[in-house]
Amino acid sequence: MAYRESFYRFLMTQRDPDSSDDIAQFANNAEHDLSFPKQEQNYEKLSNYLELNAGYLPSMTIFDQAYQLYKEKMAY
């Protein structure tokens, strides 16, 4: 099986401290979340973590959009 980067690693490519884009803000905040599951790729596990622990994420729709971008990038 080909190497597939974690969602966190992908998300870190979306950081932009000067952007007001929702995904960029999510990435900026996730960078400071020391408990973020950095090796995870699974949507359900990530979603469960964020629902319970990510007060910095104003809407799970933002995660859904970011995960869709991740899936598109990881498609091979």
Give pLDDT tens digits for 53-69: 999 999 999 999 999 99
Beta strands in 1-76 (DSSP E): none
What span, in angstroms and rounded, lies between the C-alpha atoms of 76 and 73?
Answer: 8
Domains of the chain, each with CATH number or no CATH: 7-74 (1.10.150.260)
In contact, 54 and 35? CB cutoff 8 Å = no
Residue-wise pLDDT tens digits, 13-26? 999 999 999 999 99
Residue whose entry in the numeric block shows the structure tokens 């990435």 = 27
Q: What pTM did the predictor assign? A: 0.92
* Secondary-structure percent of the chain, ordered helix, strand, coil, rounded to 5: 55, 0, 45
